[in-house]
Structure 1
Amino acid sequence: MNKLFLIGILLLWNLGYTQEVAVAKYAGGGDWYANPTSLPNLVKFCNQNINTTINSKVATVEVGSAEIFSYPFIHMTGHGNVVFSANDVINLKNYLTSGGFLHIDDNYGMDEYIRKEIKKIFPDNPLTEIPSNHQIFQEPYSFPSGLPKIHEHDNKKPQAFGIFIEERIVLLYTYETDLGDGWEDTEVHNNPQYVREKALKMGANIINYVFKN
């Protein structure tokens, strides 16, 4: 039933209905609410530049709730601990195998926790680094070197990892880039305009991939 429901939502969006996206709320003590202006700014950028019709009111949804099936794209971020309960794991797996998409953006400090939780969802399907020639880096904006660096932490290269099901990315984990910082209001991090633009364009590529695949 969940799969048919999500397919129905996607068909309605393809007919021109307003799309909706959400921020994931999770347990464990990590600040799931970090970067509050990020996703609204990305939505605004996409609606203005890549012809999406996403609702400007971004929702918040708990990862263990059936409500996640109402959103084809869910964004998750934070700096600290993440814990998925048994119910969260089942719910997220059903969501992702039914056509949903989860983008996890490490806001620094999340990596050691989130990798273990992702493994709970897909114990036999490990995170795979996404090559720079993948379509998610090609359209509508070109990133020939792959994931851009937005916010420096440990002088490590930015990496994009994915969980693939039938060649489609269903879970995207972006590490050592901090895309969400680049999506935030300018005064939050005082990033130069060209850095914010890179972040927003990469975010638009992610949104484009979700709604076209």
Structure 2
Amino acid sequence: MNKLILLLLVFNLGFSQEIAVAKYAGGGDWYANPTSLPNLAKFCNQNINTSINTKVATVEVGSAEIFTYPFVHMTGHGNVVFSANDAINLRNYITSGGFLHIDDNYGMDEFIRKEIKKIFPDNPLTEIPSNHLIFKEPFSFSSGLPKIHEHDNKKPQAFGIFIEGRIALLYTYETDLGDGWEDSEVHNNPQTVREKALKMGANIINYAFKN
């Protein structure tokens, strides 16, 4: 039985769910927003009945360990480089049921798009429409991806790699969800903005675990 599928069966029996931050090469700050994922895990546990371990792990994109996490989050501001092994490992992880969320923390876009093509050379990123399920449950975002942190006055966009109709890789651009998940004093975002970011994050977690 696939290692990831086995883990998901264990989760369904009520054990703590594990999520992780992706560590990658290239010099980009993969470790940016250190409070983001723990805060999102706490919010989800309090609001959508998850049981996520708030001590979030770090996992290298080319390691076998990645298969033990049904949800992996990746962020940063700069360069990203996937080796051939990294790309194969990520493709195997995603096609076997794993979910990779990449959130551009500003400055990542020009690099990450090329690296995503290494993972799925024949499966291009597709913009996700605002009426997709990921924007509907458990919180409604009728206009699609919310804007959290302004950089270049561009609209926020969500892109996906779809496998058998399911979003398996999600790339969020010009929103900076991770900034909204961080401790409030880090960016001094208004509570309403942080709440939007956390609710959208909860939708992503909910979609990843249920679809």
Give the distance between the partners of 1:129 and 1:16, measured in 2 at CA: 34
Which position in structure 2 is the counterpart of 1:196? 194
Q: CA deviation at 1:15?
A: 1.5
Task: List aligned pairs for 1:144-159, cutoff 5 A.
Answer: 144-159=142-157
Aligned to 1:185: 183
Instruction: Kindly provide the amino acid, as one letter, of the partner of residue 108 in structure 2.
Output: M
1:56 offset after TM fit, Å? 1.3
Matched, 1:106 2:99: no
SS in 1 for 2:158: strand
Kindly indicate whether residue 102 of structure 2 is the aligned counterpart of residue 129 of structure 1.
no
Among 77, 81, 84, which residue is 1:83 paired with? 81
2:116 is matched with which residue?
118
> TM-score, normalization: structure 2?
0.99
> Could you list the runs of 5+ residues in structure 1 that have no partner in the other structure?
none
Gaps of 5+ in 2: none
Aligned equivalents of 2:3 and 2:56: distance in 1?
A: 21
2:136 to 117, 135, 138: 138
CA deviations 1:37-96 (Å, max 9, x no partner) are 000000000000000000111000000000000000000000000000011001000000
- How far apart, CA to CA, are the structure 2 residues paired with 1:55 and 1:92? 23
Identity rate, percent: 87
Q: How far did residue 190 of structure 1 move?
A: 0.1
**Which of residues 4, 23, 32 in structure 1 aligns to 2:21?**
23
Structure 1's consecutive aligned runs of 4 or more residues displaced over 2 angstroms after TM superposition are none
How many residues of Structure 1 are paired with residues of Structure 2 in the alignment? 211
Q: State the secondary structure of the residue aligned to 1:162.
A: strand
Structure 1 vs Structure 2 CA RMSD: 0.6
Distance 2:13 2:131 in 1: 30
What CA distance in whole angstroms lies between the structure 1 residues aligned with 2:117 and 2:63?
20
Deviations 1:163-208 (A, max 9, x none): 0000001100000000000000000000000000000000000000
Q: Does residue 194 of structure 2 align to residue 211 of structure 1? A: no
Question: 1:32 Cα shift?
Answer: 0.2
Q: Which amino acid aligns with 1:56?
A: T
SS of equivalent to 2:208:
helix
Aligned to 1:56: 54
Q: Distance in 1 between matches of 2:5 and 2:15?
A: 14
TM-score in terms of structure 1 length: 0.98
SS at match of 1:30: coil
Amino acid at match of 2:7: I
Residue number in structure 1 paired with 2:34: 36
In the alignment, the residues of structure 2 paired with residue 210 and residue 122 of structure 1 have an alpha-carbon distance, to the nearest angstrom, of 19
Q: Letter of the aligned partner of 2:179 in structure 1?
A: D
SS at match of 2:100: strand
- Per-residue deviation, 1:36: 0.3
